[in-house]
A and B are shown apart, each in its own frame.
Chain A
Amino acid sequence: MLRLMKSEFIKLRTLRSTLTATIVLIVFPVAVTVLSAMFAKHPNETMVIKVLVNTGMVSLLLCGVLGVFAIAQEYSQGTIRITFAATPLRMKVFVAKALVISLWIAVSVAVLEGVGLIGANYALHSRNFGFGVIYQAVPGIDSAWQVLFAFAAVCILFALVGFALGTLLRSSPGAIATLILVPLLVEGIVTGLLIAAFDIDISHKTPFTAAIRAVQVEPDAARWGLVGYFSIWCLVITVFAALLMKRRDA
């Protein structure tokens, strides 16, 4: 398994598209957060985390895109045939890929959060604001660490959903479009239609909405419940993708 993981790691680190997406994933929220800390007129205690997580929505989608890249490019470029010829046990390939993309995202998000917080902290200190950034995000309810861990978990789950969609659709454009359209459009439309037609509100049950709510800096005791709910969806689609990958012709 370690050999396979090393192989998958080489695949990820030797592609320009993967590296570019990773750099944007880290740099964009970090830059916006640090700039906010530098120039905000009245920075308050929750501002840094809020900006980091809100601009991190772009990173969240990029995590999904990286998940798609990890597999769909293999299908579009034909390298999946070489991969499966070298390792006929497809489940091992699937697990190795899933583990490597998860670790890749975990490290990237850790860098994003670490650099973002340290940078913002440094900017605030340089403006003589006397507080650090590791503080209560929502005093008395939720700590900043909870938000940051939840954000990292959702990023990894987004990558796995992207990976599963890439496996199912075997096309980068198709999987990326699905990954963007479902949370941004489809879930809202379905929810709206159901409310209008049947007066049924499923907004609290739609998976991507739950994932995004899980990382909001708001008083929400159900943060980890929402992460768990999204994990179940993620698990279902990933298992389905794995079974299909095993069954289909390469």
Chain B
Amino acid sequence: MHEVSLFEGLLLWSSALTHCSCYGVQVIHVEHLTKKFAAFTAVDDLSFTVSPGHVTGFLGPNGSGKSTTMRCMIGLDHAQGGSATFGGVSYSKLTQPLHRVGTLLDAGNAHSGRSARNHLMWLAASTGISKSRVDTVLEQVGLSEVSRRRVGKYSLGMKQRLGIASVLLGDPEVLILDEPVNGLDPEGIRWIRDLLRDLAKEGRTVLVSSHLLSEMALIAEELVVIGQGKLITQCTVIEFTGRYAKKWVRVVSPQVQILKSLAVAKGATTSEENGAINFYGVTAAELGELGATAGVTFHELSPQTGSLEDAFLDATASSVQYHGVQSEGSAH
């Protein structure tokens, strides 16, 4: 009886120890990070925190400093000021960093003349990871059958999968991925979406940058939004869209023109859309009351909120450095 309880105790202790060492609280703290290239300031006194347990989206227009920030976080670029720590420790002081932080900065960072398996083999050898783990991650990302093919023959999507395999190789607690869905087909996008969510659910810290805002809306729970190297906001996706996205009320009614004239008189603006009228600057309740006093029949009265993309464009409008010429249609 005594032996059994001691054994159970040891099991519990070792399980707790394993759990703590694998998925301990690995908060990423970026504090006053500053990176300059000659006179150009790419990252300007940037501070944010990334917590474990959910996916954090890292958003910003082109040239806003997302990739530079990620490179500075893992010591590839030397920051002129500030710091980035993982559970309180800077990346350069992590022992066996591949086991602590997995990074994918560019899917193209693999020698085109080397096979995918050999690419992972040298990476594994540098930190004493076994060959069987290489085969496991190749299986996990779906590249087992083509693992002996040279990377130069891979499509962008396959390179992306190889990059993700290298991130998973050390089974890290923190994952930092720069545009991981670039080049992936719909099945691949769904796969990585589920993978990142599952990894976050396991208690890992996941920071993902992406330009595909619709995808980010599905993956991320929290956002860090930057522009011109500065923090614009850090909040949840719901808070972000609530704060920055446009809100309007969609109305379908046989007497919609009466309602329109009443609402405009109260300062609202309108636009037409497929037989419905969108009202801006007025709430659904106010429109309902206005309609009731005028005897308007409503077929639809629904409050609407803009997408994450709309919110992002609004939030970063003053930070966009590179503009394209809008076509007449899109401008309209």
A78–B109 Cα distance when bound, in Å, is 4
A37–B232 Cα distance when bound, in Å, is 77
A contact patch SS:
helix
Most buried by B among A8, A78, A85: A85
How many A-B contacts if CB must be within 8 Å?
A: 84
A79–B110 Cα distance when bound, in Å, is 5
Interface readout for B79-122 with A: 1 if CB under 8 Å, 0 if not? 00000000000011010011000010110111111110011011
Q: A83 and B126: CB pair below 8 A? A: yes
Which chain A residues in 1-41 approach chain B with CB under 8 Å? 3-4, 6-8, 10-11, 14-17
Stretch at the interface among A42-50, A86-94, A135-143, A212-220: A86-94
Q: A88 and B123: CB pair below 8 A? A: no
User: Are A11 and B112 also in contact (CB < 8 A) when A81-B76, A249-B76 are?
Assistant: no
A78–B76 Cα distance when bound, in Å, is 12
Q: A15 and B125: CB pair below 8 A? A: no
Which of A11, A81, A89 is in CB contact (< 8 Å) with B109?
A81
Interface readout for B41-75 with A: 1 if CB under 8 Å, 0 if not? 00000000000000000000000000000010011
Q: B126 and A14: CB pair below 8 A? A: no
User: Are A10 and B122 also in contact (CB < 8 A) when A85-B76, A85-B97, A86-B127 are?
Assistant: yes
Q: A77 and B94: CB pair below 8 A? A: no
Q: Which residue of A lies closest to B105 (CB)?
A: A81
User: What is the number of residues of chain B that contact chain A, defined by CB distance less than 8 Å?
Assistant: 32
- Tell whether B77 is near chain A: CB-to-CB under 8 Å: yes
- Min CB gap B210→A, angstroms: 19
Interface readout for B148-175 with A: 1 if CB under 8 Å, 0 if not? 0000000000000000001000000000
Q: B109 and A250: CB pair below 8 A? A: no
A residues in contact with B109, CB < 8 Å:
77-79, 81-82
User: Are A3 and B127 also in contact (CB < 8 A) when A15-B113, A89-B92 are?
Assistant: yes
B residues in contact with A14, CB < 8 Å:
114-115, 118, 121-122
A41–B109 Cα distance when bound, in Å, is 55
Q: Which residue of B lies closest to A8 (CB)?
A: B122
Q: A86 and B123: CB pair below 8 A? A: yes
- Min CB gap B73→A, angstroms: 10
User: Are A3 and B97 also in contact (CB < 8 A) when A77-B112, A78-B106, A85-B74 are?
Assistant: no
Q: A7 and B123: CB pair below 8 A? A: yes
Q: Which residue of B lies closest to A247 (CB)?
A: B78
B residues in contact with A7, CB < 8 Å:
122-123, 125-126
A3–B122 Cα distance when bound, in Å, is 9
B residues in contact with A206, CB < 8 Å:
none
- Min CB gap B36→A, angstroms: 11
B residues in contact with A3, CB < 8 Å:
125-128
Q: Which residue of B lies closest to A17 (CB)?
A: B113
- Min CB gap A18→B, angstroms: 9
The 7 closest A-B pairs by CB, nearest first: A78-B109, A7-B126, A14-B118, A10-B122, A7-B125, A88-B92, A250-B76
Known: A10-B125, A81-B105. 19 other contacts (CB 8 A): A6-B126, A10-B118, A14-B114, A14-B122, A15-B111, A15-B114, A74-B111, A79-B111, A81-B76, A82-B110, A84-B75, A85-B76, A86-B123, A86-B127, A87-B127, A88-B75, A88-B91, A88-B97, A250-B77
